[in-house]
Each structure stands twice: as structure tokens, then as C-alpha cells.
Chains A and B, each alone.
Chain A
Amino acid sequence: MTQHDPVRRRFLLGGAALGAGALLAACTSNDKGGDNTNAQTQGNNNASPNANSAPGKKVTIGFSAPAADHGWIAAITSNAKAQAAEYSDVTFTTVEAGADAAAQRSALSTMISQKPDVIVLLPHDGKELNAFGLEAMKAGIPVVNLDRAFPDALAYRLQIKGDNYGMGVAAGNYIAAQMKAKGVSNPIIGEIAGIDNLELTQERSAGFKAALAAAGLTVANRRAAGFTVDTGQAEMSQLLQALPKMDALWNHDDDQGIGVLAAATQANRKEFLMVGGAGSKAAIEAIQADNSVLKCTVTYSPSMASSAISLARLIAQGKGMSDLVELQVPKEIILASETITKENASTYLPLGFS
């Protein structure tokens, strides 16, 4: 042993670590080098020129949504951004909503002091941010509430949201119709729900149950996952053990559906038909390709963020929706949950979020 040995070894180790580090750093890129625009206007039939889309008064729209932890919320933010960029008369400012309602409240109070013409807001929790809505409205800034309702009607100028109960109804109706068409008399139906203590999950399940009950059907087994891929896979893998034969399954969320589908593939099960929820791009593509158990998805589309920006602009400019008789934008809009199947998948594909 010479005393150079440890030195050389350290040198080699250090070199290896550096090299590995450099290699890893090169691996962080996610650039697909292609289209990544998410503007939803292309999805709508904007072909006919609309008087409202012509540039008008310059307006500033303030926007706030929770930091995204999964695809849907991420799509909300990117849709809002993309839609605002479509208008030459809109200045778009955004504040990070942080991790919880308190952080969002403090971020928003700085926004009020900047006096935007209108605020579009997806709150962490509608009840907790109700007071902010009142404050902003009092300061003369119209508030557009996105998806999570304020209990107080004075706290918002416009509320636009999806229909969780209707989503469950749409899924239930589709499954009931399919079972009838296939002549399955006593179908075994499974359900993979999202995070169970969220109101939206309970509403979805209530709608699903009601629609099935109307057709004389019941859910055989319901598992609650966590809106993530790995929890979806885990719950599905056990559900498949509990139901050795299943006829239909509703999974509340297409993002967790990746895991649900993976579990079905891994267990080699394909005797059932699966309905998704939300309407992700991957799910719509799978429905279109028709090569998996996923036959349908019911929407809860983040395209509502695009619409919210368009409507916020109209509110700030004092215009109404051109197809309606009213001179101002209505106060509440609840999107219908639409059913996407193989037949209409191509129409909905541009609205799918990744």
C-alpha cells in the first residue's frame, strides 16, 4: 500500500460522481420538441368571426390557481394562460396560490392592491376564500370563481364550474345503457373513486349511484384512490381480486386511470368495460384507438379555465355573450358533463388535457 492509493481512489470516485452528475443533468429535459400549445380556442368552432373577439378596451386579468400537483390543475393554469394570449387587449397577471388557502389569501391581497380589472380565481377551498371574494367585490373588482364555489352570492360576479353530480349520472347512464344493450341482467359494477373526503368525490359517487339505481343496478364494490396513478393501480389491483368477474367499472379520474388500466393489464383482465372521468388526452386517444377496456369517459373539462378568461374579459369590457339576448355575462354557468365515446372522440380530442 502506498499512500497515494486513497488519493487516487478519491480522485476516481470524484470523477465518476462528476460524470454521473453530468449525465443525470442531461436527463432532466422533457422537451418533446413539438407542439405544446394548449390554447383551447382551436377546439371550439371559432371559425365564424365573432363580434366579441374583436379587440376592445384594454383590460388586465388577474389569475390565481393552486400549485398543480396533477394534470387537471396544471391544465387549468396553462389553459388560462393560453386563452389570455389569444386576445391582444388582455394583460394577464398571475400569482402563485401557494400550498394552502392561507397562502392563496395573502397572495391575492397583494393582487387587489394592483387593481386588475377582473380577477379569475380557482380557490383552494371556496369556503375559506369566500371572505376574499367579498373584499375584492367591495373594492370594485369583479371576481370570476372557477369551479370551487363561494357560499356567499355577493362574493362573486360570475361562477363557472363543472358538474360533479352530473358526471356520475353520465357515467351511470352510459353503463346502464351498455349493460342493457349487451343483455347482462345482473351486472357486477365496480367503482374507483378519488379522494374520499372531498365533496366533489362524494357528489360524483352520489350521481353514479342514483343513475344506476334508476336502472335497477347497484355498485358491487367501491374503492377510494387518491387521484394519483399509483393509488389508482393499488386500489384496482385489489378490486380485481375481490371481483373475479366484473362487467363494468367507473373510474373517477383519467389521471389515476393510467394506473387503473395498468392494473387491469397486469392482471390480464379484459372482460369488463371501463368508463373514465375528466377527459384527458391520453384517455380520449385510448377510446379512439379502441384497444383497451376503456370505452368511454365523462368530461369534467379544464377547458372551463379558457372560458373563464374569455368571460372575464367580456365582464371587464362590459359586453355580453353574443348569442344571448342579455347585455351582460350571466352570473352562473355550470358545464354539462359530456360523454365521450369512440364515435365522437375525434371532436373532443383537441379539448383533452395532457
Chain B
Amino acid sequence: MTGLPAQTAPAVKEALGGGPEEQGKGGNGWWSSDAGESTRRNLGLIGVLVGLIVIGIITRPDLYGRDGWWIDNVWAILKLGSTVGVVAVGMTFVIIGGGIDLSVGAIIALAGVWCTTVATQEFGAGGMIFTALLVGLGVGLVNGFLISYGKLVPFIATLAMLVAARGLAAQMSNKQTQQTSNQTINSIAADSFLGVPILVWILGVVVLLGWILLNRTTFGRRTVAIGGNVEAARLAGINVRLHTMMLYALAGLCCGIGAIMLTSIGTSAQAAMATNYELDAIAAVIIGGTLLSGGRGTIVGSLLGVVIFSTITNLFTLNALSTEVQNMVKGGIIVVAVLIQQFRFNSVSQFFKRNRITTAS
């Protein structure tokens, strides 16, 4: 790799879905260059997010008018999405790499239950965190091994893991809710550091590391290459099998982190925890502009997808509207967000840039 990333290969760069660093590229602005494609997508998502917040302000001016309420609300929204956000980072890698992981919720439940057993709790917070991470990583490795070396379709392999891991979690917990008595673990969800809740710190760090890993390392580029064209990646000398296994291990590790967060949030773990997290995470990743067929996607987009979903939940709660309507709107938002990304910002930015030339393409 030579020099600035923007100068290396625009085509690859587009596939990588770069960030704002493309601003320096040539005479074109980022809003119209091909390389800024995903940035425009993310701007569309920010537009949706701002719209939701504006609706919140219009419908509940009394709450937004309260002293210091809005910052609490921002933290409440981010904390609500923190666990799914961490899981979505791992999911983004798996999907960009051309796979899918349906077992993330089950891995969280298994790791959560495993790290809150009486025997594990005796080792203290360190032992619990170690156990959760190791269980997540281990289950992810099993997923990856089955998919890359056992040649199972990802959908089938992770579906099987979804069922099996929840079964093991139920067996281990004897179907009971396991409360944590460990104050260090419980304080993760309750405390703040420098005015920012620790959960939000964890989310931020995981997102940052995920962004670096995807955009600034060979691991990330190989992921994009494999998702884009497996055969080409293999011919280019990438160990596709090993790499695919690592992607699922990474997703599993994210679930391990998520398990600690969710255990702390609920001060307990149970086999039924994190139900439907796989769907939430996949929806967020897709909203974020990641191709379900792989080869393209951004971490920032996935994060925005998660935040949009928690903002909707927050908005509906503020207005005391029913959960049914909320679910319908969530479904609608998935469609609208993808539509906006496909049409709106492409055409609008092209309109501003090239309205005189009127190039239709």
C-alpha cells in the first residue's frame, strides 16, 4: 500500500466504503465522488435520525425543555442500543465477508449464563469477563470451523448453533434467572466515566476498533475481497477458509462482550436473554448500507442503524404509543432507510453538482 489510501485504488476504496478521508481526493467533493458513496448513505441515515429527534422535540417539548433532560435521553438511547451495537460490529464483518450469523443472540445467552454460574462468580469480575469472552470466542470458532472446513452453509450452521446454544444455556442455568452479586460487573451498566456511561464507552471503543480493523488493516481488506468475490480472493492468495473462520470468531467475541454488557444491564443472565438480537443486529447492518451478499459495508452505517432503532423505541415510549405500532414503524423504517440511501442522496447530490450538465447516469 502506498501513500494515502484514497490514492491507491478507487474501485477497492469504494468497496471498502471509506470514511470522510476521501475529502482530499482530487477536485471533486466527497459528496459527488464515487468513493464517497457510503458517506452519502450514512448522511441519509443521519437525516433519518435527525428527523426522528425533531419529531421527538415537536411531540414532547415539555420533556426537551427540562434542564439537562436531553443529555440523559441521549445516554438512555445509546445505552439501549449498546449491546446490539457491539454485536452489530461483529455482524458487519461477517456479512461483508459474505456470510451471516443467526446465532448471536444465543451466544450472548450462553456466554451470559456461563459467566454467571455460581462457580464462575467465585472467580470475581475478572473470571466472569474472561469466561464470557472465551465462551463467545469459542462458539464463534465452532461456527467458523463448521462453515469454512465443514462446508456448511452459514445460514444452516448458525441456525443450528442458535438452537443448540440456547439449549445448553437452558441446561446450564436449569432454566432459572441467575443474578449476579458481583458489584464490579453490576456497576458497568450503572456508572459513568468522564460523564459518559461506561456502556457507551464500550460501544465507542468496539466501534472504533472495528472501524480501524475494517478500513486500515489487511484483515479488513481481505474481508471485503472475500465477500466481493471468493474465487478471486482465493486466487489472490488469501487463505479464505482460515479468514472466514476468523470472521465468525470475531462475531463470537463481540457477543462475549455483549454478554457482559447485557448481564450487567440486567444484573442477571438467563437462557431467554437477548432474544431476537440476531434480527436486530442484521436489520441494523442492512440499514447501515452493508450488502447482504457481502463485499460492501461500513461500521459507521451499522452503528447508525442501531441508534435509529433505539431512537424509535425511545420516541414511542416518550409518546406512550403502543408496541404494535412501534414494530410496524420499525419495519417501515428499514424500507425507508434503504430507499433513501438508494435514491435520494444519489440523485439530490447529483442534482446539486451536475444540474446544468444533466447527466442521467
- Which residues of A does B touch, CB under 8 Å? 20-21, 24, 26-32, 67-71, 73-74, 196, 220-224, 226-235, 237-242, 244, 255, 258-259, 261-262, 265-267, 282, 354
Contacts and interface: CB of A to CB of B under 8 A. Distances in A.
A223 B73 CA distance: 17
A178 B324 CA distance: 32
5 contacts: A74-B175, A223-B317, A229-B177, A240-B76, A255-B270
Contact of A238 (B114, B170, B317): B317
B131 A24 contact: yes
B93 to A, nearest CB: 22
Contacts of A223: 317, 323
Contacts of A266: 189-190, 265
A232 B266 CA distance: 8
A30 B324 CA distance: 38
A241 B318 contact: yes
A261 B266 CA distance: 9
Contacts of A242: 60, 63, 317-320
Contacts, number: 142
Contacts of B324: 196
Contacts of B275: 226, 228, 231
Interface string B51-90: 0000000001001001001001100100110000000000
B270 A31 contact: no
Given A27-B119, A262-B189, A265-B190, A69 B69 contact: no
Contacts of B161: none
Contacts of B39: none
Interface in B84-129: 114-115, 117-120, 123, 127
B239 to A, nearest CB: 13
Contact of B118 (A21, A31, A220, A262): A31
Interface in B289-338: 313-314, 317-320, 322-324
Interface in B146-178: 170, 172-178
A229 B273 contact: yes
A72 B220 CA distance: 46
A207 to B, nearest CB: 18
B72 A69 contact: no
Nearest to A31: B118
Contact of A70 (B60, B138, B189, B272): B272
A238 B313 contact: yes
A220 B271 CA distance: 32
A74 B174 contact: yes
B200 interface: no
Best-buried of A220, A221, A228 by chain B (most CB within 10 Å) = A228
A259 B266 contact: yes
Interface SS, B side: helix
Nearest to B319: A242
B135 to A, nearest CB: 7
Contacts of B127: 27
Given A230-B262, A241-B318, A26 B273 contact: no
A282 B179 contact: yes
A193 B200 CA distance: 27
B118 A68 contact: no
Contacts of B318: 238, 241-242
Given A29-B117, A31-B118, A71-B177, A262 B266 contact: yes
B46 to A, nearest CB: 22
A226 B190 CA distance: 22
A29 B63 contact: no
B271 A241 contact: no
Contacts of A229: 177, 266-270, 273
Contacts of B6: none
B237 to A, nearest CB: 18
Given A27-B114, A71-B175, 18 more contacts: A27-B127, A28-B172, A30-B174, A31-B118, A31-B119, A68-B170, A69-B175, A69-B271, A70-B177, A220-B320, A227-B272, A229-B268, A229-B270, A232-B266, A238-B76, A241-B63, A242-B63, A282-B179
Contacts of A282: 179
Contact of B72 (A30, A228, A241, A354): A241
B284 interface: no
B131 A238 contact: no
B274 interface: yes
Contacts of A235: 317
B317 to A, nearest CB: 4
Contacts of A262: 186, 189, 265-268
Contacts of A20: 134, 138
Contacts of A71: 175-177
A73 B117 contact: no
Contact of A32 (B114, B118, B266, B313): B118
A29 B122 CA distance: 11
Shortest beta-carbon contacts, A-B, top 9: A238-B317, A229-B266, A68-B175, A29-B119, A27-B120, A74-B175, A221-B320, A259-B266, A266-B190
Nearest to B66: A244
B170 A69 contact: yes
Contacts of B319: 242
A68 B173 CA distance: 11
B40 to A, nearest CB: 31
A67 B117 CA distance: 21
Contacts of A239: 317
